[in-house]
Chain A
Amino acid sequence: MNRSRWLAVALLSLSLGLLSGCGSTPKGDEAGADGADGKGVGRLGGSSANLNDPSRAGSGAGGYRFDVNVEPEHRIYFDYNSALINDRSAQVLAHNAGWILAHGPKGTITIEGHCDERGTREFNLALGQQRADAAVRFLVAQGMPANRLKAVSFGKEKPLVPSHDDSAWSKNRRVEITLR
């Protein structure tokens, strides 16, 4: 219920143009190599990105404007076979952390890791866990209490887009911040 409310608000936000840019998805890049763009945060959480201070939201290099009165987009996306958090995802996560700390509900927040359908069930379960764990580490680094965050992998079990092409896959390789 909460989750659908989040989604509704996020969609509303998009429609109002408050979140310009954040709803766009990465290209269906199958390069697969970690850090192919030379930027971002490694799998191990060894953060090297310059994080935006949520209090100075709106100054991000990506032109991501953050309005503390509106929920941020609650999904981030990944390259194929990668758990790397790229710059845009880092911004989204940082803004989520800021929003949750300032306005969010109390209690546990589930960080769901998802994959596209390619590859095996078990490898994708592990990859989804890596994606969720990477997001959790990032959120903790942003000041979120670790004991409020729970990383859960769904592997390739719950695609966001149920088709079988690059466009669908790019949206299915994701982490979702959910309230349960």
Chain B
Amino acid sequence: MMEEMTMTATRQGPPARLRWTTVFLLMAGLLWGSLPAWGGVRIDISKGGLTPLPIAVPAFVNLGGDGQVATSGVMGSQIAEVVTADLERSGLFRPISRSAFLQMPDSLWKSGPQFRDWRIIGAEAVVTGAARQEGDQVVVDFFLYDVFQGALIGKGKRFTASQRNWRHVAHRVADEIYTRLTGETGYFTSRIAYVSQKGESKRLIMMDQDSANPVELTHGEHLVLTPRFSPDGDNLFHISYSTGAPRIFRMDLISGSTSQQGEYPGLNSAPAWAPDGKRMALTLSMDGNPEIYVKDVGVGQPVRLTNHAAIDTSPSWSPDGRRIVFNSDRAGSPQLYVMGAGGGEPRRITFEGNYNAAPAWSPRGDLIAFVHGGGGRFRIAVVTPEGKNMRVLTDSWMDESPTWSPNGRVILFSRQQGSRSQLYSIDLTGYNERLVPVGGDAEGSDPSWSPLIR
């Protein structure tokens, strides 16, 4: 779908080691385990303390067939806008207003940065780029500079894709910038599937993580719930009532075909892909009570993992596929438990609050996001798989369905306010809560965040 190559011909410099006091420290402190010791339950909504990195993303120039800068064309400007929006939305970057720029894009591309001009306006990094058409392809080159060191960060990079996927190219650029400046994989080339509601009808929608390119996957004939991307991003589990009862279906996003995942008496729900994409966990009530089972995707007999008179549901796999976190009210209220992927004695990991549910194991493996209910409110929280360091991230009344960005940095969830449900995202630190628009007057719920789409 897309080619990329590292550019070595021009402007190559030694990779610069940055002294990012903001982004780097944030990453080092929060992503690699040395979490500050918050004592017990505490809402971490102190929005101060995070200083996003000032970055300049001028319009990319448009190149003509002769490789010279063209005076017309909008692609370069559009790409820069998508990159800017991605970086800004992450909360880790503060793109500087283009009206403040002293060096114009043409000069920037032809001569490289006049670093003094970028220092003056407070930029710590500056991006240069160019876009050109080759047949029905768009080819984008970009470079990233450390303004204070006056040097390239990494090498230049070229991305090629079909014209209609130009936004994807822009997201690749944003991913590169994010990765180079934070040391973490980006997440901008990813999608969101969710349930859209208009009136009484619910349908599955898939869109880019920045809400662009929405595609309607089901069309409102039947009640649909809980889409779940496969680990390769090519398939979507969901629940449909097309047979009159809740049944699990797999939609092949490439071919568009849909197939039912078995037909078991009673409840069929909570499909969860194993990280290998070959097995799934699910909830069935065919043995008299909602229990968690594992089976091969598509075929095979379900093997029962839990055995308790209470409700057991909402399984989520650890990224190494060895453990499953799930939701059970066996102790009288819904709480989270972790068990081996083959079953065995579950270990309870939540103890505070009378309703802990909908666990989602981070792709990074170190945290589990979930819905924390207490005092009549339902909020998004995280806890380690060992049940330590629980932190409540959101501060609303009815938040649910947490799902992780592919890099385990951001949590997407749905929030009901009054009668209306919308999608929101929040950084795992509890900073940078954002509305994720779903367009028009539709409501959004049941989000699932895809893996990276390459």
Contacts and interface: CB of A to CB of B under 8 A. Distances in A.
Interface of A: 32-34, 43-44, 81, 110, 117-123, 125-127, 129-130, 133, 150-155, 157, 162, 164, 180
Contacts of A162: 419
A89 B84 CA distance: 59
A122 B309 contact: no
B246 A152 contact: yes
Contact of B244 (A81, A164, A180): A180
11 contacts: A119-B357, A119-B373, A120-B327, A120-B378, A121-B226, A122-B226, A122-B269, A122-B357, A122-B358, A126-B290, A153-B246
B311 A130 contact: yes
Given A81-B329, A120-B371, A130 B357 contact: no
Interface in B280-309: 283, 285, 288-290, 309
A17 B446 CA distance: 44
Contacts of B376: 118
B223 interface: yes
A130 B290 CA distance: 8
Nearest to B327: A123
Interface residues of B, number: 42
B400 A121 contact: yes
A46 B371 CA distance: 32
A155 B179 CA distance: 41
Contact of A81 (B283, B333, B418): B333
A157 B333 contact: no
A180 B245 CA distance: 12
Contact of B418 (A130, A151, A164): A164
Interface in B379-407: 398, 400-401
A32 B333 contact: yes
Nearest to B416: A117
Nearest to B310: A43
Contacts of B332: 33-34
Given A119-B334, A153-B246, A164 B419 contact: yes
Given A120-B401, A152-B245, A130 B314 contact: no
Contact of A123 (B239, B266, B285, B357): B357
A117 B401 CA distance: 14
B285 A129 contact: yes
A61 to B, nearest CB: 28
Contacts of B285: 126, 129-130, 133
B267 interface: yes
Given A81-B329, A133-B266, A119 B378 contact: yes
Contacts of A129: 266-267, 285, 290
A91 B334 CA distance: 29
B313 interface: yes
B289 A121 contact: no
A145 B266 CA distance: 17
B118 interface: no
Contacts of B357: 119-120, 122-123
Interface string B221-245: 0010110000000000001000011
Contacts of B269: 122, 125-126
Contacts of A127: 311
Given A133-B285, A152-B245, A125 B267 contact: yes
Given A118-B378, A152-B245, A123 B313 contact: yes
B218 to A, nearest CB: 15
A130 B266 CA distance: 10
